Amino acid sequence: MFASILAAGLAAGAIYALVGITYNTMYSTSRVMSFTAGQLGMLGGVFGSYFILKLGLPIIVGFLATLVCCAILGYITEIVAVRPVLKSLEQHLYVLSTLALALMIQQVTAIEWGTEPRPFPKLVGWGEGVWDEKFWIPVVACALTIIGLEFLYRRTLVGRAFVAVAEDNFAAQALGLPERNLRVASYMLAAVVGGIAGFSGGELLLAFFANGALLNFYGFVPVALGGLGNNRGAVIGGLILGLFQQAANFLVGGIFASVAVFTLFIVVLLAAPQGLFGSAVARRV
Amino acid sequence: MNTQATAGSAQNAAPASHHQARTQLYWLLAAVVVALGLPYVSNDYWVSIGTRAAIYWVLISGLNLVVGFAGQLAIGYVALLTIGAYTTSVLTAGKVFDPISVWFALPIASVMGAIFGVIVGLPALRLRTFYFAMTTLGFATIVTQIALAWQNVTGGGIGIPGPEMPAPFDDNLGFYYLCLGLAAICTWLTANIARSRFGSGLIAVRDAEVAAEACGISKSRLLIPVFILAGALAAFSGGLFAGLQTYITPDAFTFELSLLFFISILIGGRGSIYGPMIGTIILVILPEIAAPLAAWSTFLYAFLLLVIVLAMPGGIAVLLDFNNRRPLAKHRTVAPQTSLLAALNPQHSAQKILGLQDIVLSFGSVRAIDGVSLDVQPGKIHGLIGPNGSGKTTTLNVISGYYSPSEGHLTLGQEPLPPGLPHLRAGRGIARTFQTPRIVGEISVLENVMIGGATAGKANFLQSLLALPEERRERQALKTKALALLHVVGLGSLADIRTDRLQHSELRFIEIARALMISPEFLMLDEPAAGLSSDEINKLGALIKAISACGTGVLLVEHHVDLIFEICDDVTVLNLGKILAAGTPDEIRAHKEVVNAYLGG
Q: Looking at the 3D structure of chain B, how many domains does it have?
A: 1
- Does the ipTM surpass 0.90? no
User: Is B352 within the bounds of a domain?
Assistant: no
Instruction: Average the pLDDT over A181-203 and give the result.
Output: 94
Domain residue limits at B268: 39-320
User: Is A276 within the bounds of a domain?
Assistant: no
Contact B61, B187 (CB under 8 A): yes
Nearest chain A residue (CA) to B214: A285
The C-alpha atoms of residue B64 and residue A239 are separated, in whole angstroms, by 38
The C-alpha atoms of residue B200 and residue B439 are separated, in whole angstroms, by 12
The C-alpha atoms of residue A267 and residue B123 are separated, in whole angstroms, by 9
Of residues B122, B133, B306, nearest to A270 (C-beta) = B122
Span of A225-234, A259-268, B11-20, B154-163 with lowest mean pLDDT? B11-20
Instruction: State the pLDDT confidence band at B517, using cuts at 50, 70 and 90.
Output: very high
User: Is B168 within the bounds of a domain?
Assistant: yes
Q: How does pLDDT run across B472-491, given as a tens digit for each residue?
A: 999 999 999 999 999 999 99
Contact B217, B450 (CB under 8 A): no
**pTM of the predicted model as reported, rounded to 2 decimal places:** 0.88
The C-alpha atoms of residue B1 and residue B288 are separated, in whole angstroms, by 61
Contact B202, B453 (CB under 8 A): no
B73 secondary structure, DSSP code: -
Amino acid found at A39: Q
The sheet that has B570-575: what strands, in order across it? B430-432, B522-526, B553-557, B381-385, B570-575, B578-583
Q: Are B303 and A104 in contact (CB < 8 Å)?
A: yes
Average pLDDT over chain B, rounded to an integer: 87
Instruction: Average the pLDDT over B197-202 and give the result.
Output: 91
A161 touches chain B (CB under 8 A): no
Rg (CA), chain A: 18
Q: Are A254 and B309 in contact (CB < 8 Å)?
A: no
Contact B496, B413 (CB under 8 A): no
Contact B424, B455 (CB under 8 A): no
User: Coil, strand or helix: which one is B352?
Assistant: coil
Burial class for B567, CB neighbours closer than 10 Å (0-12, 13-18, 19+): buried
The answer, yes or no, to whether residue B313 has pLDDT greater than 80, is no
Strands of B233-343 (E only): list them: 247-248
Contacts of B131 in chain A (CB under 8 A): 224, 269
Residue B14: the pLDDT is: 43
Whether omega before B168 lies within 30 degrees of 0, making that bond cis, reads yes
Instruction: Average the pLDDT over B66-91 and give the result.
Output: 93
Tell how strand B160-161 and strand B247-248 pair up.
antiparallel
User: Coil, strand or helix: which one is B581?
Assistant: strand
CATH number at residue B210: 1.10.3470
Instruction: State the pLDDT confidence band at B231, using cuts at 50, 70 and 90.
Output: very high
Q: How does pLDDT run across B415-474, given as a tens digit for each residue?
A: 888 888 888 999 889 999 999 999 998 899 999 999 998 888 888 899 899 988 988 999
A106-111 long-range CB contacts below 8 Å, 24 or more apart? A106/A39, A106/A42, A106/A209, A106/A210, A106/A212, A106/A213, A106/B298, A107/B296, A107/B298, A107/B299, A107/B302, A108/B299, A109/A42, A109/A43, A109/A46, A109/A209, A109/A212, A110/A209, A111/B295, A111/B296, A111/B299
Q: Are B313 and A285 in contact (CB < 8 Å)?
A: no
Residue B45: the pLDDT is: 87
Domain residue limits at A148: 2-271
The answer, yes or no, to whether residue B315 has pLDDT greater than 60, is yes
The answer, yes or no, to whether residue B294 has pLDDT greater than 80, is no
Choose from B127, B263, B310, B527 for mutation: most chain A CBs within 10 A.
B310
Contact B270, B289 (CB under 8 A): no
CATH number at residue A132: 1.10.3470
The answer, yes or no, to whether residue B5 has pLDDT greater than 90, is no
User: Is B20 within the bounds of a domain?
Assistant: no
**Shortest CA gap A173–chain B (Å):** 23
**Shortest CA gap A249–chain B (Å):** 13
User: Is B571 within the bounds of a domain?
Assistant: no
Q: How does pLDDT run across A240-264, given as a tens digit for each residue?
A: 999 999 998 888 876 778 888 888 8
Instruction: State the pLDDT confidence band at A168, using cuts at 50, 70 and 90.
Output: confident
Residue A174: the pLDDT is: 84
